[in-house]
Amino acid sequence: MVYKPDRLAPNASRMRLVTLEKRFGKLKCMVVGCGYDKVLEVHRHVPGRSGGLYEIGNMFTVCPNHHAEVTRGITTLVKLSDDALEIIESEQLLQIAV
């Protein structure tokens, strides 16, 4: 789901963004150190196919670049809190697993 401040997102998407905005204030990418706020997507930390719901603590606003990196398996996002994610490069995960 993509959110552009100058356009209205579809109903369900808009409601998710409103929920996040009410809880955390101004929306921006929730990846630590990013803060991009021009275009946002809602990312579920636990994917829908694994039972993850669109709820506080599992849904985060992320910029399109970070969302694409996660989707393509380039990086992994680790939840730090209900409004913060940290990047772990996939190479780091391999080193941790060994």
C-alpha–C-alpha distance, residues 31 and 28, integer Å: 9
C-alpha–C-alpha distance, residues 3 and 68, integer Å: 15
- The verdict on pTM exceeding 0.85 is no
- The structural domain count of the chain equals 1
Q: pLDDT (tens digit, 9 = 90+) per residue, 36-49?
A: 999 899 999 999 99
Burial class (CB in 10 A: 0-12, 13-18, 19+), 32: middle
Residue 3, pLDDT > 80, answer: no
Domain, as residue range, for 81:
2-97
Please report the beta strands in the chain, taking only residues with DSSP state E, as ranges in sequence order. Answer: 2-3, 40-44, 59-62, 75-81, 84-89
CA atoms within 13 A on the CB side of 34: 24
